[in-house]
Every structure is written in structure tokens, then in C-alpha cells.
């Protein structure tokens, strides 16, 4: 129990000054350590119904078509993450022909929609299992976008007010994806130190994009913001435009560097990896990309903190 309390404190009680974590704490995060407290039975049943409804509404995969199935998860209840998750789901569903094959999860009420299931690790795990059952894993593609806080070594943070706390460690996320059979996957992680997860997620058929390298923070996660820097640059700007994915990545990374320079911030150094076989499915998806751009929404992240 001591290491669990220390692990929570590494993010939630020390702010930007992340505490050193022990090997036991790293091991716990990589097993997916989570606690829920103060939830009543009605809340849990409501979650069951919300997530079940979202899963039941998913369209089936189409034989002979490379279908994308999208999960967007705001894992922290700071409202910026819920806002980013809700808008990201719309952009990715449109760009990748995944309308009806998209699930949004959001901790807290930032998404502004009470029908969205909670952004908890448990709900994420169930959604991944449902996708694996729906998809043709040899033909279709998982697209996963998460947005939250992060910390060195222990990965992605889960926090839902005073009720839910946890970590999805690098190995835990990799085990979830590999164990479900998602070899064709596009994983985008908006979090400080998210480059820590990249080496665990790569394979010949994967694309991985992170908001920062393993040693750096990313920016724009103040609760009052509509977007993080990464989300605003990649989702709200670059992926709204009908351009190749690697061109969109270059545009987004240039924007992030420009914003960080203008605010005299330590560079976050976002990361991008493409496996040698990933273009087989990426090109198939991009052939169906809409021909027109959509307008940006929300306040620019660079104007916040």
C-alpha cells in the first residue's frame, strides 16, 4: 500500500516536480494499478449501461474493406482532457471513415455529454475487448487516442476527481493491445513523458505518435483549456486537412515547436514512428479521406498555459 500512495503522490501531490518512483511502483503501473472509491452501485450500473450501449451501437466490419475502429479516452477529469477527447473523436471518425465505429470515454464532465462513459482503465479495457470481437484483426485497424497527464516510467495517469486513481504503465498498454491481437494500430498519446511508452508499442504494422519524448513534459493541459498543444496542433489543425498522415505530422510538430519557442518553453520533442508494413493499411484508409477540410473549434491552446 505504501508504494501505491507514493505513486499517486508522484503526480497528484507534487505538481510538475515528479517524485522518484521505486521499482515496485514501476512494476505496479505496468500491471495497471487502479483504485475506485466512493462509487455507489447505481454509478457502476450506469457505467455498465452507457458502455454497453456504445458497444452495441458499433457498426460491423465490412469484409474486403479496411475499417478503422476508433477509441478516444480522456483519462483525467481536468476538463481540458474531456473537451479534447470529445472533439478528437469527431475529427478521427470523419477522417478515417469511422463514424459508427468510434467510442469516446472521458473522466469527469469536460466532454459536456452525460452519455459518454467514464474514461477509466476498466472501461478502456472493455472497449478494446469489444473492438477485438467486432474487427477482422488481419484486415482492420485500431486507432487509439488518449489524453491525460503522464509521468516518467509509470506512463499514463488516470484520475477521476476524488473517486478514481491509477496508472497505465508502458508495458500494461502494450500487453492490452498485443493480447487483444491489435497488430494494425495507430496509437496517439497526448501526455507528458509519453515517449516512455513508444518502444513498447512499435511493431511492423503500427504507427505511434507521442506528445513528448520520454524525458520531457508536453504543454497546454491547464484545466481551463480546450486543447493541449499536441491535440490542437495534430487533431484540431493538421488532421482536419486532407493531406497525407506524415505531412500532417510534420505540420503539427512544426506548430508545436513554434508555440514552445514563442512562449520560451523547454521543447517537448514529440515522437513519430511508422512500421515498415503500416503503409499497407494507412494508404487504404487515406484513399477514403474526405476531400474538404473542417474548421478548427475551441480556443487555441497556445493562448492558455
Q: Let me know: does 208 contact 195? Beta carbons within 8 Å.
A: no
The per-residue pLDDT string of the chain (305 residues; one tens digit each, 9 = 90 and over) reads: 444 445 555 544 434 445 678 899 999 999 999 999 999 999 999 999 999 999 999 999 999 999 999 999 999 999 999 999 999 999 999 999 999 999 999 999 999 999 999 999 999 999 999 999 999 999 999 999 999 999 999 999 999 999 999 999 999 999 999 999 999 999 999 999 999 999 999 999 999 999 999 999 999 999 999 999 999 999 999 999 999 999 999 999 999 999 999 999 999 999 999 999 999 999 999 999 999 999 999 999 988 65
pTM: 0.95
- pLDDT tens-digit map of 53-96: 999 999 999 999 999 999 999 999 999 999 999 999 999 999 99
Please give the full DSSP string across 112-132, using - where no structure is assigned.
--TTSPP--HHHHHHHHHHHH
Q: Let me know: does 228 contact 218? Beta carbons within 8 Å.
A: yes
Structure-block grid coordinates of residue 227: 486543447
What's the confidence (pLDDT) of residue 13? Answer: 40
Total domains present in the chain = 1
What's the confidence (pLDDT) of residue 20? Answer: 73
Please give the full DSSP string across 144-213, using - where no structure is assigned.
EEEES-EETTTEEEEEETTTEEEEE-HHHHHHHHHHHT--SEEEEEESTTGGGGHHHH--TTEEEEESS-
Residue 276: give its domain's CATH number: 3.40.50.1460
- pLDDT tens-digit map of 87-107: 999 999 999 999 999 999 999
Q: Let me know: does 121 contact 34? Beta carbons within 8 Å.
A: yes
Note down the domain range covering 286. Answer: 2-303
Q: Let me know: does 233 contact 249? Beta carbons within 8 Å.
A: no
Alpha carbon 229 to its chain's center: 14
Amino acid at each position: 500500500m505504501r508504494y501505491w500512495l507514493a505513486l499517486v503522490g508522484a503526480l497528484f501531490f507534487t505538481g510538475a516536480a515528479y517524485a522518484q518512483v521505486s521499482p515496485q511502483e514501476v512494476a505496479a503501473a505496468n500491471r495497471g494499478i487502479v483504485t475506485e472509491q466512493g462509487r455507489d452501485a447505481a454509478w457502476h450500473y450506469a457505467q455498465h449501461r452507457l458502455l454497453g450501449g456504445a458497444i452495441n451501437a458499433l457498426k460491423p466490419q465490412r469484409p474486403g474493406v479496411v475499417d478503422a475502429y476508433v477509441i478516444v479516452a480522456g483519462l483525467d477529469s481536468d476538463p481540458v482532457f474531456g473537451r479534447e477527447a470529445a472533439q478528437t473523436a469527431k475529427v478521427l471518425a470523419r477522417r478515417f471513415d469511422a463514424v459508427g465505429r468510434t467510442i469516446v470515454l472521458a473522466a469527469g464532465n469536460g466532454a459536456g455529454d452525460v452519455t459518454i462513459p467514464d474514461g477509466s482503465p476498466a472501461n478502456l479495457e472493455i472497449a478494446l475487448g469489444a473492438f477485438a470481437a467486432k474487427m477482422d484483426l488481419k484486415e482492420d485497424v485500431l486507432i487509439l487516442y488518449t489524453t491525460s497527464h503522464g509521468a516518467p516510467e509509470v506512463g499514463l495517469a488516470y484520475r477521476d476527481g476524488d473517486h478514481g486513481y491509477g496508472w497505465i504503465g508502458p508495458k500494461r498498454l502494450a500487453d492490452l493491445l498485443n493480447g487483444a491481437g491489435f497488430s494494425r494500430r495507430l496509437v496517439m498519446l497526448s501526455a507528458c513523458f509519453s515517449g516512455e511508452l513508444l518502444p513498447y508499442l512499435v511493431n511492423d504494422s503500427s504507427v505511434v505518435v507521442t506528445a513528448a519524448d520520454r524525458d520531457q513534459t508536453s504543454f497546454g493541459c491547464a484545466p481551463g483549456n480546450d486543447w493541449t498543444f499536441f491535440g490542437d496542433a495534430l487533431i484540431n489543425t493538421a488532421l482536419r486537412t486532407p493531406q497525407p498522415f506524415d505531412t500532417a505530422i510534420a505540420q503539427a510538430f512544426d506548430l508545436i515547436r513554434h508555440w514552445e519557442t514563442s512562449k520560451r518553453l523547454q521543447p517537448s520533442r514529440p515522437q513519430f514512428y511508422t512500421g515498415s508494413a503500416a503503409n499497407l493499411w494507412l494508404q487504404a484508409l487515406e484513399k477514403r479521406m474526405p476531400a474538404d477540410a473542417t474548421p478548427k473549434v475551441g480556443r487555441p491552446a497556445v493562448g492558455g498555459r
